[in-house]
Structure 1
Amino acid sequence: MDIHLTSLLRFILSSSTILLLFLSCCWYKIEAHGEEMIEVEVNSFLPETTCMSSQKGSDYYRNKLQLVDKHGPCSPLGKKNLSIEEILLEDQLRVRSIHSMIGKQFSPRDYKAKIPTKAGYSLKTGNFIVNIGLGTPKKYFWVSIDTGSSLTWIRCQPCSNCSAPTFNPSKSSSYSSISCTSPDCSQLGSNKYNSPQCTNCMYQIHYADTDFSIGNFGREKLTLTSSDVVPSFQFGCGLRNSLGDSTSGLLGLGPKQVSLVSQTAAKFGKVFSYCFPRSASSTGYLAFGNQTGATSSGVKYTQMRALSRLPDNYFVLLMGISVNGQRLNISSSAFTDPGTIIDSGSLVTHLPRSAYNILRAAFQRAMSNYPSAPPTRTLDTCYNLSRNRTVNVPAITLHFEGGTDIQLDPFSGVLFKISAVQYCLAFAPNRDLVDQTIIGNLQQRTYEVIYDVPRGRLGFRAVGVNC
């Protein structure tokens, strides 16, 4: 009996040694080829139900605007009970709105039939909000930030179809109207509302399907922080608004003359940045001028470009994508025409179908040890990780023009948690005739993204988990 037991133990030990040597050999090969997976705990993807306070202290944010996910526990707007699937559908509407402005190859009304909408959907305004002060005496309003829009507008009284807090210009001593013949009115361009009996300048802005905002274009004192006040800020005072959203308006950060960025050029030098929190249960920031990390060490810059068909957006050039250190065989032409939009309001990154198919295939090979899960209407590559304590997430790196390489955060930029049994690749293929690449805010998290407009460059500064 002892002889048999001894022989058995020798066999087990010998087999274990061979197995360990085999695993060590394979792991060595993976490291040698740069194919390093990122092991993370599955429960790290679980959302927090309470708002986590910043660990950097109030002084750090004194000259920055706090950024809040309007769907998360830090939001002051109250729960709207939008599911993750509904948020993704909302995101798809924004992407299709952008595509419609580029191609004009399909009717925006067509996607009402393709994507079910419900009251409360925000079709254009994005999912991060800041609190700004307006008027004298000052009133505070939560507004969405948007790098894909230049015009700032606020819901105003008397307001048609307004459920969110509204601004009353008649109660402010610092509000003034702008005449129809003023050069300031002319700079609205296509957003100028041509009224037959025009006395005061009016604006109009239309989004996907039938949503719009129309109102007066005027001047008012805008308070960003206690030390950053814009005395005669030009903005839209929305009287007719069809966007069913709980925010009071939109802060336009686009590149056109009417944007906040251009109007504050003398003060901030057309430089701004934001840091999106990794989780909806924490907060980020929006900063201007010398409050950004533009001059910090470790910033990786790539060139910014312009596209005449989309003058409200900022463009960069995505050159390629790597998975686990291996550059994917994607033609560079897939991204060069018509360029790559870097967008604050889109959630997931949308790629041309040809590029997405190659990325998905590489991702599926790397995730072959995990059981698949049903797709969503937007994300088609999903896995059931409910029985796993940890998961090896493939490392994905985006390669931009000028040698700027950005490795994505595994918790937000690579895998996106839909439910306890559904974790999906946080990329989507374009489903329209326009093959526009759009970098969403999931892929921008754990970085401060710096817009240096005068120098024509976009920077990424790694900040880690907390902004």
Structure 2
Amino acid sequence: MAVCTDEKHHSNTSGSIRLTLLHHQYQCLDDLVCSRNGSTSAQGQAPQLASSLFFRRRRPPPRNVSAPVTSAGPFYGFVAQISLGTPPTKHSVLFDTGSSFSWVQCRPCGITSGCYSQNGPLFDSAASSTYRRLPCSSPSCQSASVATRNTLNCSVQDNTCSYRMEYSDLSASMGRLVTDRLTVGQESIPGFVFGCSQDHEGVFGSYSGIIGFGVHELSFLSQVAEAAHIYRAFSYYLPSPSSEGYIQMGNYDEEAFAFTPMFTAGQVNYLDLTGILVDGHRLNLTDKQGAPTWCYLDTGTPVSVLPRYVFDQLSDAVADRIKGYQRVQGATWCFDPWYWWTERAIPTVVMEFRDSVRLMLNKERLMSQQSDGRLCLEFDRSSNGFYILGSAQMKMTYLVQDIEKSRMGFPINFQ
């Protein structure tokens, strides 16, 4: 039985492109990604904070290439830095495994709602010699309608393909479908297809846009893999506030991981969650309707999401086994310290996936500590019965999503 831990990462980075990821409390990244004002408890805020296209959608996720990742403040994404255009200009973008479409804000802004305030300059298409608008007859225009799950509009006046990317909280990005040169690491990729956002609805934080790592051919990963002739997989490490993480696209060291099958629904990847154990006590994941326990993978969702009946079991099981804390009245997922207790202990929680692959949740991945010493579960209830593996449970551990072989890897303990 494979058990996932935080042991030393064994990587094969020959010929890779790597992007760096940073936490929202980290210092500025090249003066573009800046630290935000403190951290907030994620409990009960998942719909508001989630950046993912899956979680916010109206409709119910050779060589190597890598890039840096950073967590996005109140918006709680993880932010990478890419460069677009000729000459290249840097842009801070949210890393999203729950979507397949990429976009950044562009000049000129639209006349409807225009652009929102962001860190760093907007992408100026007029300043790039390699910028091109895509016509309505372009195959990418038709393909983007699948990636955005929306019918694309065509401007009769200039024969330009337009897109609208909608989210379940009614936020949206609107603009033109374009191509330009993408630079990631040392790799320069011509003809990268993305959305040039000129209008928006709702809130997207203060970052330039989103890069989607879903399975569609227009996803960031798919385009980079095809252009750079690399293996279609990506490994990543979501960092703490005091460290740097990464996204690495391409080959990886297979011997460093234990694998569970990965499936796809609506361009979002998911796993078969077979169990949740609290100090060895197995929770009941089967509801009255016998619904499948598909667990969607989404770095844009800040905490993992469980159906209400499973969340309640987890909260009760932790409450029965935690030592030195008492449950907060009216907030069953939070626990206050009993200061007269000298012994404190947090139960061991394990998430188990098909083929007995396990992810062990240490204290940092199970609970968040508030400024008053209170501990709160890093999980939320789902109103629609979904399971989502969010960034709180994926942080500070090495993971890989192998699109080519339809599998996800969790690190195993190499001695």
Q: How far apart are 1:196 and its partner, in Å?
A: 5.3
What's the CA shift string for 1:231-290, capped at 9, x where partnerless?
21101111112334210111111111210122133322211111112x222211110102
Q: 2:194 aligns with which of 223, 235, 239?
A: 235
- C-alpha contact 2:16 2:249 (8 A) present in aligned 1: no
Distance in 2, matches of 1:233 and 1:364, equals: 50
Q: Distance in 2 between matches of 1:82 and 1:170?
A: 37
Displacement after TM superposition at 1:81 (Å): 2.8
Match of 1:141 among 63, 84, 91: 91
% identity of equivalent residues: 27
Q: Tell me what 1:395 maps to.
A: 348
Q: Tell whether the 8 Å contact from 2:96 to 2:300 is kept in structure 1 after alignment.
A: yes
Task: Name the structure 1 match of 2:100.
Answer: 150
Match of 1:300 in 2: 258
- Counterpart residue number, 1:161: 115
Change (3 A) 1:145 1:333: farther
Tell me, which stretches of 5 or more residues in structure 2 are unaligned?
A: 1-9, 61-72
Structure 1 counterpart of 2:218, one-letter code: V
Q: Secondary structure at the match of 1:185?
A: helix
**SS of 2:256's equivalent?**
coil
**For 1:445-466, what per-residue CA distance to the aligned partner results, in whole angstroms no more than 9, with x for missing partners?**
23211111111101112599xx
The aligned counterpart of 1:170 is: 126
Over 3 Å counting, the alpha-carbon distance change for 1:201 and 1:386 in structure 2 is farther
2:370 to 386, 397, 418: 418
Q: Tell me which of 330, 335, 338 is aligned to 1:383.
A: 335
Q: Does 1:427 align with 2:384?
A: no
Match of residue 278 from structure 2: 323
Where in structure 1 are there 5+ consecutive unaligned residues? 1-55, 104-119
C-alpha distance in structure 2 between counterparts of 1:139 and 1:445, whole Å: 29
TM-score, normalised to structure 1's length?
A: 0.73
2:82 maps to 1:132? yes
2:58 is matched by which residue type in structure 1? M
Structure 1 residues 210-221: aligned runs within 5 Å: 210-221=170-181
Question: Conserved in 2, the CA contact under 8 Å of 1:446 and 1:462?
Answer: no
Which protein has greater RCO, CA pairs closer than 8 Å, 6+ apart? 2
- Encode CA deviations 1:364-389: one digit per residue, 9 max, x unaligned: 1111542333566xxx3212238478
* Map of 2:237 onto structure 1: 275
Contact 1:416 1:425 in 2 (8 A): yes
Aligned residue type for 1:265: A
Tell me how far apart the structure 2 counterparts of residues 82 and 203 of structure 1 sit (CA, whole Å).
35
Larger radius of gyration: 1
Which of residues 290, 312, 323 in structure 1 aligns to 2:267?
312
Q: Verify the 8 A CA contact 1:314 1:342 in the aligned structure 2.
A: yes
C-alpha contact (below 8 Å) 2:55/2:301 kept by paired residues: no
The residue that corresponds to 1:451 in the other structure is 401
Measured after TM superposition, the shift of residue 83 of structure 1 is 4.8
Q: Report the residue type matching 1:397 in the other structure.
A: V
Verify: 1:78 aligned to 2:34, yes or no: yes
Q: What SS does the aligned partner of 2:355 have?
A: coil
Letter in 1 for 2:348: A
Pairing 1:223-372 to 2, within 5 Å after superposition? 223-226=183-186, 228-242=187-201, 243-266=203-226, 267-277=229-239, 279-290=240-251, 292-293=252-253, 295=254, 297-307=255-265, 311-331=266-286, 337=292, 339-372=294-327
Runs of 4+ in 1 over 6 A off after TM superposition: 59-62, 332-335
Question: Between Structure 1 and Structure 2, how many residues are aligned?
Answer: 374
Amino acid at match of 2:55: I
Across the aligned residues of Structure 1 and Structure 2, the Cα RMSD in angstroms comes to 3.0
**What is aligned with 1:32?**
none
| Comparing 147-156 and 259-268, the one that deviates more | 259-268
Q: Tell me if structure 2 keeps the 8 A contact 1:147–1:312.
A: no
Q: How many angstroms apart in 1 are the aligned matches of 2:230 and 2:246?
A: 16
Partner secondary structure for residue 209 of structure 1 = coil
CA contact (8 A) 2:105 2:115 kept: no
1:323-382 deviations in Å (ceiling 9; x for gaps): 113333443888953621011111111111222222222111111542333566xxx321
Q: CA deviation at 1:229?
A: 2.2
Aligned-partner SS, 1:257: coil
Residues 30-72 of structure 1, C-alpha deviations (whole Å, 9 max, x = no match): xxxxxxxxxxxxxxxxxxxxxxxxxx9xx99984211012344
Q: Which has the higher strand share?
A: 2
> Quick check: 239-248 or 382-391, which moved more?
382-391
Check conservation: 2:95, 2:210, Cα contact below 8 A. yes
The answer to whether the 8 A contact 1:121-1:244 is kept is no
Q: Within 5 Å, which residues of 2 pair with 1:30-69?
A: 63-69=17-23
**Could you say which residue in structure 2 is the equivalent of 1:98?**
55
Higher relative helix content: 1
* TM-score, normalised by the number of residues in structure 2: 0.81
